[in-house]
């Protein structure tokens, strides 16, 4: 009877009026939370990149903090808070995990409902408790969990910066709530405020990559407010608890607990405000976003927010499996970059020690996984979330201005050069070419600085400012193998760096051209051809090259080498998105290019589980083999994306893997961000409508249609607004609105 009561409660709490089209019902938050079971994962077993690394999170799009069950209480690198398959949990985390990544969580804290009994289990490792996750009604706006042993149900909803919990105990025996500060470095602070019925605190953030272990100059702040008075209370630290204590800091296992009297099984509600600037601003965020105690209203508002955002792409199909893949991919693509500013505009100044700035006319964002997201996830956001995207671009420029260098891979509001390349330049160029509103001159100043200068202060360089190995690149036109790139997290990888810098130079050249900086345009355009300097004609692939001009002799293009990033030369040699025709000539012409491309695909050496390969399937268009592009893309959609927890073929990397699916399913892809050009495959749905924001897209709607479209359908021609079209089209065509029609 107890469990029947709880599940009747679940049904009751879950019933609410929904919009006419309820897109969130197609989201499965568990996809990507388990070891990958796709083709790419089988080809690369045991590698961490074969895990999706996503979390089932309640959050608003780009939310400051996500809310997810916790099965590990560490903020250790590459360990997500949750993995499907674990049947026990320690509570629910307010997390800043980079979804689908192998970085670290930071500034997090954990909430756990419990019972204050004689064997009160107050430490995370003591609290492992079997939990039931009602997955069939789990959405980004609401999740519910039952701890049968404790007879307590937890329901979660939230807002951009806040969480809202509803705890229901079946029995009145000393219900309690525990809050942990999740510091791996024995830092943090927590306080119980009896007058305000609050628990508040902070978790200081420490850096990894550049500045390993050093303070990041920010903390994760929280204020948890309850609707019931505290009966008993105490603090936790050094594996002990102290009754009637209200404050503790900077020791191991910092935490606090409170108990309640709940007659008639009344639920206890807890609202949590979060911030990266202060406890007071966490409280202001809470007061502004959840000023009431109406859980159902907050839940409905968050559902509406998600349905509005997801409805920016309306898909018509009878295949519910593909609808689930599509809208789950949109969910994953809308996690990052992360909102960092408070409701009053305050945000932590970039790469500075707890200094606060204020943005009055835009929201400030952080956590840009640029090496991943420049390819498809950011271009997707330019379509489906243009207001937020524009603010993200402004945020990158602000970061450059405050730190005096354009960041490479900005995380936890600091410089890192965690990956390779200089892809803030790609994101800024793509936004500028699309006509988004930000200070182009200021952006160009820092883009150019990254392209031409290295910090004079070696400490600044070590700290992550500037392109890695730029002096060698400028001297040789490539990065020779003698330069082992010691001051980087990814060391060596000289050939991959050379290829990416050539593309980055092309991007900066496009901005120079737009701003009439002719000399820079000419010089950077010449540098954009530096990819040719690491092409080994005798081997037919990109190869490691020494300073004397000779290439590596002991070379196998199908094997991993230290001069290639996360892959093989046969996979990375195709990364010349800005000059595919030039690459074709380098490889010996169209016939040889086509032969190599077909060989890569036919021998199953293409690796979808990692980003460097993502543009390759669309290269068949350059050799007149649009049918092969369609077959290849649709095969990837079919074999590399599934409906199970293992349904992502590699790290989702802040939504890049998922964004690839969305573009692939719609039938076009931005192979070269900054060019304003999309290469066509073909849609898997009969009708797709992009419902675009008219402030940024005057045409309002862009419709993609294809009779009998599906995962097996190959089309022979395409029409744009009634006129026969080639196998590419322009972003301006989307801006004007219209119809892209695929025909057999």
Smallest Cα–Cα separation from 255: which of 388, 412, 125, 78? 125
Looking at the predicted structure, is the pLDDT value of residue 18 above 80?
Answer: no
Q: Which two tokens stand for residue 526?
A: 């010449």
- Answer yes or no: is pLDDT of 526 > 50: yes
User: How big is the chain, counted in residues?
Assistant: 744
| pLDDT tens digits for range 623-652 | 999 999 999 999 999 999 999 999 998 899
- For 317-372, what is each residue's pLDDT tens digit? 999 999 999 999 999 999 999 999 999 999 999 999 999 999 999 999 999 999 99
Question: Can you give the pLDDT at residue 39?
Answer: 80
Residue 728: band (very low, low, confident or very high) from pLDDT cuts 50, 70, 90: very high
Residue 62: count other Cβ atoms within 10 Å of its Cβ: 23
Q: Which of 366, 339, 451, 361 is nearest to 406 (CA)?
A: 451
Strand partners, 5: none
Give the largest Cα separation in the chain, rounded: 82
* Topology annotation, domain 2-20+55-310: Beta-galactosidase; Chain A, domain 5 (2.70.98)
Give the per-residue pLDDT at 352.
Answer: 95
Helix, strand or coil, per DSSP, at residue 206: strand
Q: CA distances (Å), 310 to each of 60, 206, 326, 694, in order?
A: 12, 35, 10, 16
| DSSP class per residue in 697-715 | -TT-EEEEEETT-STT---
Q: What is the pLDDT of residue 47?
A: 52
Q: Which residue has the tokens 């897209």?
A: 697
Q: Could you give the CA distance from residue 256 to residue 270 in angstroms, rounded to a whole number? A: 15
Q: What is the pLDDT of residue 4?
A: 40
Predicted confidence at residue 5, as pLDDT, reads 42
Exposed, middle or buried by CB within 10 Å (0-12, 13-18, 19+), for 45?
Answer: exposed
260 and 269 in contact (C-beta within 8 Å)? no
Q: Where are the alpha helices (DSSP H) in 203-294?
A: 279-289
Contacts of 532 (CB under 8 A, 6+ apart): 582, 586
Sequence-distant contacts of 263-267: CB under 8 A, at least 24 apart: 263/172, 265/168, 265/169, 265/170, 265/171, 265/172, 266/228, 267/166, 267/167, 267/168
Q: Which of 38-47, 589-598, 725-734 has the lowest mean pLDDT?
A: 38-47
Give me the pLDDT at residue 20, please. Answer: 67
Determine contact, residues 267/260, Cβ cutoff 8 Å.
Answer: no
Q: What is the pLDDT of residues 96-149, one digit of tens each?
A: 999 999 999 999 999 999 999 988 999 999 999 999 998 888 999 999 999 999
Lookup: tokens for 509: 């050249």
Give the per-residue pLDDT at 10. Answer: 44
DSSP code string of 8-43 = HHHHHHH-----SS-GGGG--TTTTSSB--SHHHHH
pLDDT of residue 12 exceeding 50, the answer is no
Of 446, 530, 451, 433, nearest to 732 (Cα)?
A: 433
pLDDT (0 to 100) of residue 265: 79
Considering the entire predicted model, what is its pTM?
Answer: 0.95
- Tokens found for residue 172: 């009145």
Cα gap 51→645, rounded to integer Å: 10
Query: What pLDDT sits at residue 41?
Result: 77
Helix, coil or strand: residue 624: coil
Domain topology for 332-681:
Glycosyl hydrolase family fold (1.20.1610)
Average pLDDT score over the chain: 94
Task: Calculate mean pLDDT across residues 14-31.
Answer: 76
- pLDDT bin (cut points 50, 70, 90) of residue 7 is very low
Instruction: Decide if pLDDT at 15 tops 80.
Output: no
Sequence spans of domains, the chain: 2-20+55-310, 332-681
- Look at residue 13 in the predicted model and tell me its pLDDT: 42
Single out the residue of 406, 342, 332, 329 nearest to residue 370, CA to CA.
Answer: 406
- Burial class from Cβ neighbours inside 10 Å (0-12, 13-18, 19+) for residue 421 reads buried
Tally the C-alpha atoms within 13 A of residue 457's C-alpha that lie toward its C-beta.
7
Q: Tell the residue number behind the tokens 């543009």, with chain if given.
A: 615
Collect all residues with Cβ–Cβ distance below 8 Å to 211 and sequence separation of at least 6.
414, 415, 416, 463, 464
Q: How far is CA 192 from CA 29, 226, 256, 285, in A?
A: 33, 11, 7, 19
Segment 553-562, tens digit of pLDDT: 999 999 999 9
Spatial separation of the C-alpha atoms in residues 476 and 221, rounded to whole Å: 48
> According to the model, what pLDDT value does residue 194 have?
97
Distance CA 549, CA 546 (A): 5
Distant-in-sequence, close-in-space partners of 112: CB < 8 Å, separation ≥ 6: 90, 91, 92, 127, 177, 178, 179, 180
How far is the C-alpha of 129 from the C-alpha of 112, rounded, in Å? 11
- pLDDT of 319 reads 93
Task: Indicate whether 459 pLDDT > 60.
Answer: yes
**According to the model, what pLDDT value does residue 417 have?**
86
> Is residue 132 a contact partner of residue 311, using CB atoms and an 8 Å limit?
no
Among the listed residues 336, 312, 327, 380, the one whose alpha carbon sits nearest the alpha carbon of residue 28: 327
Is pLDDT above 50 for 77?
Answer: yes
d(CA 226, CA 224): 7
Residues 153-182: tens digit of each pLDDT: 999 999 999 999 999 998 878 999 999 999
pLDDT value at residue 44: 64
* 237, 255 contact by CB (below 8 A): yes
Measured CA to CA, the distance from residue 97 to residue 100 in angstroms comes to: 8
Where is 390: in which H helix or E strand?
A: helix 386-403
Asked if the peptide bond before residue 337 counts as cis, ω within 30 degrees of 0, the response is: yes
Tell whether the model's pLDDT for residue 191 goes beyond 50: yes
Q: How far apart are CA 507 and CA 427, in angstroms?
A: 9
Is it the case that residue 594 has pLDDT exceeding 60? yes
Name which of 114, 31, 27, 658 is nearest 307 in CA terms. 27
Please state, in angstroms and rounded to a whole number, the distance separating the CA atoms of residues 226 and 233: 13
């Amino acid at each position: 009877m107890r469990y029947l009561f709880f599940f009747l409660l679940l049904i009751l709490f879950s019933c609410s009026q929904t919009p006419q089209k309820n897109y969130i019902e197609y989201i499965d938050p568990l996809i990507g939370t388990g070891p990958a079971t796709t083709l790419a994962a089988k080809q690369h077993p045991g590698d961490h990149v074969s895990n999706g690394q996503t979390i089932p999170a309640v959050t608003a799009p780009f939310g400051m903090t996500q809310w997810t069950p916790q099965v590990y209480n560490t903020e250790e690198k590459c360990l997500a808070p949750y993995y499907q398959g674990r049947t026990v949990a320690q509570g629910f985390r307010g997390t800043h995990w980079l979804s689908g990544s192998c970085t670290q969580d930071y500034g997090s804290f954990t909430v756990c409902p419990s019972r204050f009994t004689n064997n009160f289990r107050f430490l995370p490792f003591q609290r492992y408790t079997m939990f039931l996750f009602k997955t069939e009604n789990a959405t980004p706006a609401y999740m519910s969990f039952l701890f049968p042993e404790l007879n307590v149900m937890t329901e979660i909803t939230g807002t951009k910066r806040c969480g809202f919990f509803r705890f229901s105990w079946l029995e009145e025996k000393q219900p309690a709530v525990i809050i942990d500060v999740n510091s791996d470095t024995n830092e943090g602070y927590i306080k119980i405020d009896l007058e305000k019925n609050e628990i508040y605190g902070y978790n200081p953030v420490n850096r990894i990559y550049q500045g390993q272990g050093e303070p990041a100059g920010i903390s994760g702040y929280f204020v948890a407010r309850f609707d019931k008075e505290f009966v008993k209370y105490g603090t936790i630290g050094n594996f002990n608890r102290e009754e009637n204590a209200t404050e503790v800091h900077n020791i191991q296992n910092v935490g606090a607990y409170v108990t309640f009297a709940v007659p008639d099984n009344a639920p206890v509600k807890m609202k949590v405000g979060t911030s990266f600037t202060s406890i007071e601003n966490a409280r202001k965020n809470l007061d502004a976003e959840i000023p009431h105690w109406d859980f159902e209203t907050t839940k409905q508002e968050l559902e509406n927010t998600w349905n509005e955002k997801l409805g920016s792409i309306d898909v018509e199909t009878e295949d519910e499996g593909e609808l689930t893949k599509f809208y789950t991919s949109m969910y994953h693509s809308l996690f990052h970059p992360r909102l960092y500013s408070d409701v009053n505009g305050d945000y932590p100044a970039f790469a500075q020690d707890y200094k606060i700035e204020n943005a009055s006319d835009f929201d400030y964002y952080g956590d840009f996984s640029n090496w991943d997201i420049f390819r498809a996830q950011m271009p997707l956001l330019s379509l489906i979330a243009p207001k937020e995207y524009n603010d993200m671009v402004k945020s990158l420029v602000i970061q450059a201005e405050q730190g005096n260098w354009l960041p490479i891979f900005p995380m936890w509001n600091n410089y890192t050069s965690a990956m390779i390349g200089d892809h803030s330049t790609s994101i800024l160029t793509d936004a500028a070419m699309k006509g988004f509103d930000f200070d182009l001159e200021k952006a160009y100043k820092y883009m150019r600085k990254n392209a031409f200068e290295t910090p004079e202060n070696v400490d600044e360089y070590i700290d992550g400012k500037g392109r890695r190995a730029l002096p060698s690149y400028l001297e040789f036109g490539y990065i020779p193998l003698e330069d082992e790139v010691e001051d980087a997290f990814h060391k060596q990888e000289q050939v991959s760096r050379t290829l990416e810098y050539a593309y980055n130079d092309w991007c900066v050249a496009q901005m120079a051209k737009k701003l009439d900086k002719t000399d820079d345009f000419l010089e950077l355009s010449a540098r954009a051809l530096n990819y040719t300097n690491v092409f080994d004609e005798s081997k037919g692939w990109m190869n490691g090259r020494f300073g004397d001009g000779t290439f590596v002799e002991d070379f196998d293009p199908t094997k991993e080498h230290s001069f290639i990033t996360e892959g093989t030369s046969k996979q990375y040699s195709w990364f010349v998105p800005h000059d595919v025709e030039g690459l074709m000539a380098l490889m010996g012409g169209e016939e040889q290019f086509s032969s190599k491309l077909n060989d890569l695909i036919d021998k199953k050496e293409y690796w979808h589980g990692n980003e460097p390969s993502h543009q390759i399937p669309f290269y068949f268009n350059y050799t007149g083999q649009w049918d092969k592009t369609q077959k290849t893309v649709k095969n990837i959609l079919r074999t590399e994306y599934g409906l199970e927890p293992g349904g992502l073929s590699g790290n989702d990397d802040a939504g890049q893997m998922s964004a690839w699916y969305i573009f692939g399913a719609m039938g076009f892809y931005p192979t070269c961000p900054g060019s304003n050009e999309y290469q066509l495959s073909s849609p898997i749905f009969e009708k797709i409508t992009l419902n675009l924001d008219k402030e940024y897209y005057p045409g309002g709607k862009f419709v993609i249609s294809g009779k009998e479209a599906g995962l097996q359908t190959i089309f022979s021609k395409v029409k744009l607004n009634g006129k026969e079209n080639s196998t590419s089209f322009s972003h301006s065509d989307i801006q004007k609105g219209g119809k892209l029609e695929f025909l057999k």
